[in-house]
A and B are shown apart, each in its own frame.
Chain A
């Protein structure tokens, strides 16, 4: 095979692989990151999409049925709206007031978000409660205030 043919074969293999990869990463394969504000206003637009969203936890809203392993709680984005969440599974450890919760799942017709994954995000993972070094703009607007115990 001549050098040109080698290049053509190589490139076409690469192209095929690339296309396969593209299809694997189509939005259906991943989760779209939507804000609570957006979800509460345009919930119906996102029905059927696998969504990821996050918000601050309203501690009083947490209802946990240990026998049925059903967790219900409410997330909010300051001044922007709230989201009712339902999750079949275990309650995460740090479900305390104002903790940032990340959920992935689907928004149902009745507006309740059925979460397949629930994760709490420690404000800072490695340090103590030092909020100055904390994260990006996105979280600064969500994060309320320092919790001094």
Chain B
């Protein structure tokens, strides 16, 4: 098995090299045989990566501790689910996962309906260069099939903080996001190499982009959720370099997937689009580099200097290559685009959208890299914390929300201002009403009120769009409201799916703004029988007990909770002491309802009768997770929608042939 594993990795290197060469020869000689052979290489890569992956799963599932990776991240008593998902617990397995996904995606692309497309050899080569990189790093630096010197009796086990459903989902969704971006990137570069200035590459990769973005969204939201319920500091986002690493590509891809709509319809923003996809792709590599090189101090210390260097070199190479391609084609791109004519039009608002999202990405990038920048110029490493990020990002995101509200109301080309104002009326009223209501209820915090009102305004415009669409449908079809709403979305999936995603963002915004501004925290040491009061809650600590489960020692605090005088049950925060782990883990206890979370942490204890608790009340946090789900639903609609690209493409081809 050791042989099989290692051979598959070396085969991966050899086959991808061959595939790249086959593509080049095929293009130079215009020989379809060579191109077909390259296609076969891609399929073989998928095969080889699958073998390696299934082998690793087998080793993990059967606890073969003679393999270093298995011994490092699992142990006998770990449940099967965590044994298998330990696949991506460390560097080597994560690299294999990346290679596997790349090979899988590459196969789907080269064997798709587009296999005869002249861009394909270039796309396939670019993807294979990526695959080559990952197999090479595995062979030289992080081999998942490395053996130990002596076989340990039992493995070290998985860090208990990772034994959580979030651990199963978060890394995998993020990787599917990162890897998915390789496809539109490959197509974009291929189109440029071929000096094709049209939007075919965008149309062909629309679903790839959306899917990758969906996974990035999921990965980020799940990461926040995992941190919230597992780490016990009461928050869901700390602007830690690792978190920022996955947020950066999300921002640029958000810009990209909006901006391409403009190129598709109006032939504008071409330079923006290629730049955005290149930037997004580079950021996926950059994120991994950041997290695995240890160059930044973060509590996610994860470093292995050599691995970081590999990523840095590869990233630099891809960046220079892409830059070269864009620069040499720049004149052609410009010649073939239409400039933006009107200032007040949908096109210009999308341009503004690009600018804002890129500005946000730059702000996050700057804050993340600042320690290194300051060290280079001043000799002292200055760490930038959450206050910087919150201060800089809040206004940027506020402008974004307002823009999201305004955009659906602006027409294509020169928008008529009077009509626009008329359309704005109701949503604007909603925003103002929200502000007034908040004031009246004695809610303080001017920034929060502005943020919430802006969110309400944005929600208002989208609601209005739905209302209009629904009433127009009902005039024709006499359907009831729900059916009309559904049919409307199904018939115009891209547009209304997008609107649903925006509504999801509004919901998240309410959760983030509220919990950020109005969370309360109480730290108190109490004796058995005493109560802690915070807000409308009263928590009576009854007793601390201990028991064992699965060989682990669990300490539980039994607390009765009263809300506004009424008994609402018990809450039981715990600490778990593991057999195979020196540090205990904190199991936060959360009582959630739609408007707030009661978040209790068992912090420490002097004796069974004297315990220290941290009690937080976090408003509207459940809205964040809810909003995430809404975003996923909206994206799903947008994904399914749109006519099959080949169909539209044929029409366009036919038209251009006729039109000349």
Nearest CB of A to B60, in Å: 14
Q: Which of A32, A96, A102, A130 contacts B583 (CB under 8 A)?
A: A96
How far is B303's CA from A32's CA once the two chains are assembled, in angstroms? 21
How far is B525's CA from A64's CA once the two chains are assembled, in angstroms? 12
Residues 61 to 86 of chain B near chain A (Cβ within 8 Å) = 72-73
Given A96-B582, A125-B300, A129-B156, decide whether A33 and B371 contact each other with a Cβ distance below 8 A: yes
Judge whether A31 is part of the interface by a CB distance below 8 angstroms. Answer: yes
How far is B610's CA from A69's CA once the two chains are assembled, in angstroms? 13
Judge whether A40 is part of the interface by a CB distance below 8 angstroms. Answer: no
Let me know if B610 and A29 touch, CB within 8 A: no
How far is B301's CA from A62's CA once the two chains are assembled, in angstroms? 25
Let me know if A127 and B90 touch, CB within 8 A: yes
Judge whether B434 is part of the interface by a CB distance below 8 angstroms. Answer: no
Judge whether A109 is part of the interface by a CB distance below 8 angstroms. Answer: no
Let me know if A130 and B72 touch, CB within 8 A: yes
Judge whether B484 is part of the interface by a CB distance below 8 angstroms. Answer: no
The contact string, 1 if C-beta is below 8 Å from chain B, for chain A 117-146, is 001111111111110011110010000000
Judge whether B586 is part of the interface by a CB distance below 8 angstroms. Answer: yes
The contact string, 1 if C-beta is below 8 Å from chain A, for chain B 573-612, is 0010000111111100000000000000001101000101
How far is B359's CA from A17's CA once the two chains are assembled, in angstroms? 9
Q: Which of A25, A69, A94 contacts B388 (CB under 8 A)?
A: A25
Let me know if B294 and A32 touch, CB within 8 A: no
Given A30-B384, A66-B525, A94-B582, decide whether A25 and B370 contact each other with a Cβ distance below 8 A: yes
Let me know if B388 and A30 touch, CB within 8 A: yes
Q: Which of B380, B387, B392, B524 contacts A21 (CB under 8 A)?
A: B392
Chain B residues with CB under 8 Å of A21's CB are 363, 366, 392
Chain B residues with CB under 8 Å of A130's CB are 72, 156
Judge whether A147 is part of the interface by a CB distance below 8 angstroms. Answer: yes
Q: Which of A17, A64, A90, A94 contacts B523 (CB under 8 A)?
A: A90
Let me know if B382 and A32 touch, CB within 8 A: yes
Q: Which of A27, A34, A90, A135 contacts B604 (CB under 8 A)?
A: A90
Q: Helix, strand, loop or mixed for chain B's interface?
A: mixed
Nearest CB of B to A103, in Å: 12
How far is B201's CA from A40's CA once the two chains are assembled, in angstroms? 61
Given A135-B294, A136-B305, decide whether A66 and B606 contact each other with a Cβ distance below 8 A: yes
Q: Which of B385, B603, B614 contacts A30 (CB under 8 A)?
A: B385
How far is B583's CA from A93's CA once the two chains are assembled, in angstroms? 7
Residues 83 to 108 of chain A near chain B (Cβ within 8 Å) = 89-91, 93-94, 96, 102, 104
Judge whether A80 is part of the interface by a CB distance below 8 angstroms. Answer: no
Chain B residues with CB under 8 Å of A33's CB are 297, 371, 380-383
Q: Which of B157, B299, B359, B388 contacts A128 (CB under 8 A)?
A: B157
List, sorted by A's number, 24 A–B pairs whose CB atoms are closer than 8 Å.
A10-B355, A17-B359, A25-B388, A29-B387, A33-B371, A66-B604, A66-B612, A67-B525, A93-B575, A96-B582, A96-B583, A104-B385, A120-B583, A121-B299, A122-B301, A125-B159, A125-B300, A128-B72, A128-B155, A129-B582, A133-B304, A134-B303, A136-B295, A147-B582
Query: B interface vs A, CB < 8 Å?
Result: 72-73, 89-90, 155-159, 162, 294-295, 297, 299-305, 343, 355, 359, 363, 366-367, 370-371, 374, 380-385, 387-388, 391-392, 523-525, 575, 580-586, 603-604, 606, 610, 612, 614
Closest 7 CB pairs of A and B: A128-B156, A94-B583, A33-B381, A66-B525, A30-B384, A136-B294, A90-B603
